[in-house]
Amino acid sequence: MSRTSGETSTEPRYGTVYLVGSGPGDDGLLTLRAAELLARADVVVYDYLVDSSILARCAKTARRIDVGKRPNRPTNQDEINELLVGLAAQHEVVVRLKGGDPFVFGRGGEEAEVLLTRGVPFVVVPGVSSAIAVPAYGGTPVTHRGESSGFVVVTGHAQRGGHLDLNWNALCGLDMTIVVLMGVAHRAEIASELQAAGMDPATPVLAVTWGTTPRQSTVRTTLSALGDSEIQSPAVLVIGGSAGVELDWFSPPELAGLRVVVTRGDAEEDRLARGLRALGAEIISCPMFEIVEPSDGGRALERAIATVSSYDWIIFSSVNAVKRFLGRVDDLRALGSTKVAAIGRSTAREVERFRVGVDLVPPEAVGESLAELFPAGPGRVLFPRAEVAREVVPTALRTKGWEVDVVGAYRNSPVQLGPDEIDERVYDPEVVVTFTSASSVHSFVSSYDPSLVRGTIAVIGPITKAAAEAEGLAVTIEAKTHDNEGLVEAIRAWCSDHSSLNLARAPGL
């Protein structure tokens, strides 16, 4: 890392602070540069409006610091500035993650000034501004031929609860679309001042709350009715100009408003979370174990890889086993004529991602189904799997005449949470809590009190269901096909059968 010119050996060495815009909310609108930086950041300092799906892109080793300003929780900007300087002295890559664009009412300019003065290297990564994206998602372009040839963006936030310091006459005289950020609390004042400055009371107004996210809702009204309209924060107000243009195209996805607790902490979590997010669900990530090297450091796995061609079959029972094994095979020709069996569609697809064919996939994603379908021996079978797992497959195959070598490819290391790490949202009656293995159930109840869990329990299959019920958790949803896709479909079907949930307006969203 280079130092600033003229510094001495006693001056601090700083990493780089990246002032990153996270966009308006939808993680699909995150820039490629922002996603790349989140994946390698040492620490991420983020604001209140940064969506959880975007934070999920952070490296698992990244430290996350919430400095979001919200009601009853003010955050001093000077303290944030000092925090960034201090973190840059400790880390190579510091991401300061802001909603929208960092230089559009994000106080990114102030932070950049401090960093520049203190000799801290920084880079600005612009984001998609909510001033443009949110109206677009609400069905209104900020410029439109015949309606508005330009737009102006103003803040609706006043210092210390005072009045807005805006040139109302100038705003009216522009004859452009007015976009107001952070203006919900002052909407009555905004309407009154604009009318006093000569704007027609019948001027159309669009308000978009939680724009670009599954929680999005819109209100179309007029300037005279704006003050009395029911509008929730955070919202973008669009006044006059093209605000009357209605090109409504966005509709909340099927599971909009549903919050789902995902208790895995590995590649499988990503698959489950992605499937649910695609349907609009909000994910509460609550990893109860992490994937680590086996006890022997992977030596037995390396030996098995070196001799894989001597086996007639290799069996994969999880995505993690596939990654740990095939990810270490330098030349796939080493597999020779070895046949491959995979338990579950997700596992089979992961095998195919390595350009390896799958010869056998049982109809149900459980060991019993594979054992029943597997041909009779003799021969040799290699079974790389979690270090601690059920013995159903090895036992059944040995009775069929096979020599089975079980190799630990990884360990599920339980996560024990301290009192300050407990996520109270897990106890909310509105959430769906998911479990995809018995081990995730056991780890969960070691940190969370099952008697306090009031939400809906969803499990991937009968083995996980039995483990959950043994711990006192009443299971409501069970996947018909025992994989992540099946669990997503089961949750979707359950929500469809319970249409009275009114998900898009679920409490607390």
- Please identify which of the residues 26, 176, 182, 288 carries the catalytic annotation: 182
47 is catalytic: yes
Contact between 207 and 233 (Cβ < 8 Å): no
Indicate which residue of 69, 312, 339, 423 is catalytic.
69
* Helix (H) / strand (E) containing 385: strand 379-386
Strands (E), 62-192: 63-66, 93-98, 122-125, 151-155, 177-181
The β-bridge relationship of strands 235-239 and 204-209 is antiparallel
CA 393-395-399 angle, to 5 degrees, is 115
3-class SS at 45?
Answer: strand
CA angle 114, 115, 119 (to 5 degrees): 120
Question: What single string gives the DSSP state of each residue in 461-508?
Answer: SHHHHHHHHHTTPPEEEE-SSSSHHHHHHHHHHHHHHTGGG-GGG-TT
Q: Is 27 one of the catalytic residues? A: no
User: Comparing C-alpha atoms, which of 148, 185, 136, 143 is closest to residue 164?
Assistant: 185
**How many CB atoms neighbour CB 81 within 10 A?**
18
Active-site pick, 26, 27, 47, 51 = 47
At 427, is the secondary structure helix, strand, or coil?
A: helix
d(CA 467, CA 273): 22
Q: Is 182 a catalytic residue?
A: yes
CB 82 within 8 A of CB 110: no
* C-alpha separations of 307 from 285, 321, 380 in Å: 39, 17, 12
| Number of Cβ within a 10 Å radius of residue 361 | 19
Please count the CA atoms within 13 angstroms of the CA of 142 that sit on its side-chain side.
17
Helical packing angle, 77-88 and 108-117, nearest 10°: 50
Q: How many CA atoms lie within 13 A of 197 on its CB side?
A: 17
Structure tokens at 455: 């939400």
Contact between 39 and 59 (Cβ < 8 Å): yes
- Active-site residue numbers? 47, 69, 182
